[in-house]
């Protein structure tokens, strides 16, 4: 009991220190659009549902969701990325300003299309809508050479004044391995921890302190199948951490929680916080890396940061749509349950 009280006190102090931190986020910015429709009838033209439009909302997604999560945790966040001169881009900038997030590092360009993921949700009156289709709008190519140069300059400037640099790579060109290498060429960023969330190419990045892939991403980059084999999971984690020379690796496993691999220490298997009957996993990975990064920047150990990320992940998957976790919600979770780990 005394051990748990000390652990919780330590975790509380870490969370309470978040407002003293500044984190730069180099990110592919995505607009998550949700269109809600009430099921009216089945079309006579084809066997499809006809929906009566009910509501629409656009919220920060992808790397923009990691930025939003940091802000709601109380962290001072400095985003660096690109949006198009279009409605989704303007709505993202408006959302950032609403949270008082500086936007001087977010570059708007007419030649670029804001990445937009539109989810159509169908339901009856007084019921929660279920996603029936998703439509993605993506730029034909990544940011041009001028935008890439602006991204590098902004990330260098902000990174030097930050406690951590978070890289959120969704494959759209604003957070590539090459850009990170160029950003780190100049002096002043050597001691800034770098955390990485990369959808398909994490092994191509160098100079990274910690990474937070999910299990399927690890399977993809290594070309293996892990399943429920603990030894195979440990071997895969050791391989990724060794190849990337990481200080820590956090592998998320959905309903099975997450496993953290601290350098020179045994992996720690952390069961999911809360119910495994999740509501929506959209954007949960962004919440995890935001919390993990904030904790590391605050001086947490890899294991402490993983426990806090696990609390945050368990909270956010109980919310519908792309959502965030607040600093107070994290503190409340610490009051409800001590951090737990499974023995192997």
Give residue-wise pLDDT tens across range 265-296. 999 999 999 876 666 667 789 999 999 999 99
Q: What is the pLDDT of residue 320?
A: 78
Q: What is the mean pLDDT of residues 43-53?
A: 91
Q: How far is CA 192 from CA 31, 97, 164, 293, 304, in A?
A: 28, 26, 5, 11, 19
- Give residues with Cβ within 8 angstroms of 3, minimum separation 6: none
Is residue 286, in this structure, part of any structural domain at all?
A: yes
Tell me the C-alpha distance between 338 and 329, whole Å.
15
Is residue 243, in this structure, part of any structural domain at all?
A: yes
Q: Where residue 205 falls among pLDDT bands split at 50, 70, 90?
A: very high
Is residue 167, in this structure, part of any structural domain at all?
A: yes
Q: What is the pLDDT of residue 344?
A: 86
- What's the CATH code of the domain at 300? 3.40.1190.20
The domain in which residue 324 lies consists of 2-31+59-115+140-336
Q: What is the pLDDT of residues 144-171, one digit of tens each?
A: 999 999 999 999 999 999 999 999 999 9
Domain count, the chain: 1
- Looking at the whole model, is its pTM more than 0.85? yes
Q: Where residue 323 falls among pLDDT bands split at 50, 70, 90?
A: confident
Q: Which of 96, 101, 80, 75 is nearest to 173 (CA)?
A: 80
pLDDT over threshold 50, residue 1 = no
Is residue 53, in this structure, part of any structural domain at all?
A: no
Q: What is the pLDDT of residue 278?
A: 66
CA 5 from centre of chain: 29
The yes-or-no answer on residue 286 being catalytic is: yes
Is residue 149, in this structure, part of any structural domain at all?
A: yes
Is residue 299, in this structure, part of any structural domain at all?
A: yes
Catalytic residue chosen out of the listed positions 256, 286, 332, 335: 286
Is residue 87, in this structure, part of any structural domain at all?
A: yes
């Amino acid at each position: 009991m005394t051990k748990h009280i000390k652990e919780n006190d330590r975790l509380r102090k870490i969370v309470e220190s978040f407002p003293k931190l500044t984190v730069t986020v180099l990110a592919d910015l995505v607009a998550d659009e949700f269109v809600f429709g009430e099921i009216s009838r089945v079309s006579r033209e084809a066997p499809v549902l006809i929906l009566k439009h009910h509501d629409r909302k656009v919220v920060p997604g992808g790397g923009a969701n990691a930025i939003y999560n940091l802000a709601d945790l109380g962290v001072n966040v400095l985003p660096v990325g690109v949006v198009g001169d279009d409605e989704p881009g303007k709505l993202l900038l408006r959302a950032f300003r609403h949270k008082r997030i500086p936007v001087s590092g977010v570059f708007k360009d007419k030649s670029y299309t804001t990445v937009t993921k539109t989810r159509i949700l169908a339901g009856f009156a007084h019921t929660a809508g279920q996603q029936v289709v998703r439509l993605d709008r993506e730029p034909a190519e990544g940011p041009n050479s001028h935008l890439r140069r602006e991204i590098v300059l902004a990330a260098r400037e902000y990174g030097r004044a930050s406690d951590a640099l978070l890289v959120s790579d969704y494959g759209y060109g604003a957070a590539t391995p090459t850009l990170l290498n160029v950003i780190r060429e100049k002096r002043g960023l050597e001691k800034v921890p770098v955390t990485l969330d990369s959808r398909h190419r994490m092994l191509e990045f160098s100079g990274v302190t910690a990474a937070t892939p999910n299990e399927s991403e690890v399977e993809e980059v290594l070309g293996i199948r892990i399943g429920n084999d603990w030894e195979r999971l440990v071997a895969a984690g050791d391989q990724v951490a060794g190849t990337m020379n990481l200080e820590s690796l956090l592998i998320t496993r959905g309903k099975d929680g997450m496993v953290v691999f601290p350098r020179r220490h045994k992996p720690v298997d952390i069961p999911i916080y809360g119910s495994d009957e999740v509501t929506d996993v959209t954007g949960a990975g962004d919440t995890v890396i935001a919390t993990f990064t904030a904790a590391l920047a605050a001086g947490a150990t890899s294991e402490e940061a993983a426990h806090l990320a696990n609390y945050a992940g368990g909270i956010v998957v109980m919310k519908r749509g792309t959502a965030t976790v607040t600093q107070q919600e994290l503190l409340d979770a610490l009051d409800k349950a001590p951090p737990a780990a499974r023995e192997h």
